[in-house]
Amino acid sequence: MIPAQGYVDQKVGVLGLGRSGLATARALNAGGARPLVWDDGADARDAAEADGFEVLDLSKTVNLEDMVSLIVSPGIPHLYPKPHPAVAAAWAAGVPVDNDIGLFFRSFATQDWESFDQMPKVIAVTGSNGKSTTSALIHHILTEVKKPTQLAGNIGRGVLDIEPAIEGEVVVLELSSYQIDLARALTPDVAVFTNLTPDHLDRHAGLGGYFAAKRRLFAEGGPDRAIIGVDEPEGAYLANQTNGGNGDDRVIRISSGQKLSGPGWSVFARKGYLSEWRKGRQVASIDLRAIAGLPGAHNHQNACAAYAACRTVGLAPRVIEQAFHSFAGLPHRSQLVAERGGVRFVNDSKATNVDSAAKALQAFKRIRWICGGLEKEGGLDALLPHTDDVLKAYVIGREARNFALKLGGVAHQVCDTMEAAVTAAAQDAKAGDTVLLAPAAASFDQYDSFERRGDDFMRCVKALDD
């Protein structure tokens, strides 16, 4: 645990008592503060009270008297679509509102660092798609080379739940727009932006607000190195805004699909090969095609981002390449779960939006596509140009029939349930086909998370052999 600094004997509110909220309360307690906690759920409040925390309704302004800060969990709206009543009460009472990310960056460095010859570093990764894989891949590479490292944030442990850094350690944080948007302190050594596609638009009042939240990691944080995907206009804009001029190697541009030129530092993947260029010259190349844990162009972009991040902390290209080959990938993200009679079964339940599903569809040939669920804003039209390799779609979800109507000319079968879809796809599949779960929709109509949906897919695949 990282004890929260700067609040000894002071009252600090904690709103939301999920994983990050409880870690925040414990970190405040360890740092000598007096945490006052609240959650809208009675069960969460009861559990916190049983752990010895003082529970207080933070939506009442009178309860915020003498409070020096309110720490808000990332899942709780602080502005759009409307602020939580406790946040509004804090505004009215003049109490600064922050989150655990801001608290982490203010508390990470300790007096122990004065004796270190090599300072710890933080690599923070954000973006719409691929940030989990990129973060896990960076952490994997660092682990493989025996460099001390921890993984936290939107993946793994809460940021305040990790251990205090030791000399030379690299902490890798996956940060969502929710986590970045409210943080009062953002000071990563290396910041990574993978890409931008529409998501969480209600929470940020549109695409512009969503991008503005991501941009804060670079504008507010002032990282020593900025690694930026430039395949969308927003990324190209951010790279230009961050760049100090020709040859500025503080900015590393990355791409999947286009060759990047110019005198600066760039890493890009084309036709399955990763290339690193500096000062107009190629300095390294890696064949990504045989790396089983990184299939498809979207994972090649993740590889470029992770490669660039590891280069900034001094790792050699061949060392990174070797570590790529032992990366197994993350669960529910292009995860090969079985192969039966030459048919592969791939779990990409994390493909919850159109863009991520499109990338999954581009990674495989001869696809038996399991899709459907709680459709997100924007429809499916942007997905249809990427369905050329789909032999047939097997549609699940409570609104499966409506979802199927939006698949255009794609051959399809309405299956409703995962079990029916897996069974039908397996019966139709021939050697060389891939049965791919890439829903292009949220899971909440049938499952409480994309993980549960992916687990159900794997259960159904396993049941084929029973």
The ranges assigned to domains in the chain are 11-98, 108-325, 335-463
Give the pLDDT confidence score for residue 69 in this predicted structure. 98
Give the pLDDT confidence score for residue 29 in this predicted structure. 97
Residue 208 assigned as binding residue: no
Residue 129 assigned as binding residue: yes
Residue with more model confidence, 155 or 174:
174
* Single pTM value for the model: 0.88
Please check the confidence at residue 121 and state whether its pLDDT lies above 90: yes
For 252-306, what is each residue's pLDDT tens digit?
999 999 999 888 999 999 999 999 999 989 999 999 998 988 988 889 999 999 9
Give the pLDDT confidence score for residue 45 in this predicted structure. 96
Degrees to nearest 5, angle at CA 75 with 73 and 77 = 95
For 350-381, what is each residue's pLDDT tens digit?
999 898 899 899 989 999 999 999 998 778 99
User: What's the mean pLDDT when you consider all of the chain?
Assistant: 95
Report the topology of domain 11-98. Answer: Rossmann fold (3.40.50)
pLDDT average, residue stretch 310-319: 97
Sheet holding 97-98, edge to edge: 54-55, 34-38, 11-15, 67-72, 97-98
Question: Which residues are 251's β-sheet partners?
Answer: 226
Q: Kindly state the percentage of the chain with pLDDT values over 70.
A: 100
Distance, in Å, from the CA atom of 216 to the CA atom of 212, rounded to the nearest integer, reads: 6
Going by C-beta distance under 8 Å and a sequence separation of 6 or more, which residues neighbour residue 115?
none
**How many C-beta neighbours within 10 Å does residue 145 have?**
16
**How many C-beta neighbours within 10 Å does residue 118 have?**
9
Name the CATH superfamily, with its identifier, for domain 108-325: Mur-like, catalytic domain (3.40.1190.10)
For 33-88, what is each residue's pLDDT tens digit?
999 999 999 999 999 999 999 999 999 999 998 999 999 999 999 999 999 999 99
**Which residue, among 33, 106, 29, has the nearest Cα to 66 in the 3D structure?**
33
- Taking each helix axis from N to C end, the angle separating 131-144 and 317-325, rounded to the nearest 10 degrees, works out to 110
Q: What is the largest CA-CA distance in the chain?
A: 68
pLDDT average, residue stretch 147-162: 94
Give the pLDDT confidence score for residue 94 in this predicted structure. 95
CATH architecture of 335-463: Alpha-Beta Complex (3.90)
Give the pLDDT confidence score for residue 263 in this predicted structure. 87
Alpha carbon distances (Å) from 363 to 168, 367, 390: 37, 10, 11
- Looking only at the bridges linking them, the beta strands covering 281-287 and 367-371 are unpaired
Residue 131 assigned as binding residue: yes
pLDDT average, residue stretch 303-322: 98
Give the pLDDT confidence score for residue 292 in this predicted structure. 84
193-202, 310-319, 346-355, range with greatest mean pLDDT = 310-319
Total residues found in the chain within this entry: 466
DSSP states of 408-449? TT--EEEEESHHHHHHHHHHH--TT-EEEE--SSBSTTT-SS
In this prediction, residue 328 has a pLDDT band, given cuts at 50, 70 and 90, of confident
pLDDT average, residue stretch 198-225: 92
Residue 130 assigned as binding residue: yes
**Which residue, among 127, 124, 194, 128, has the nearest Cα to 159 in the 3D structure?**
124
Residue 132 assigned as binding residue: yes
Distance, in Å, from the CA atom of 320 to the CA atom of 386, rounded to the nearest integer, reads: 31
Q: Kindly state the percentage of the chain with pLDDT values over 90.
A: 86
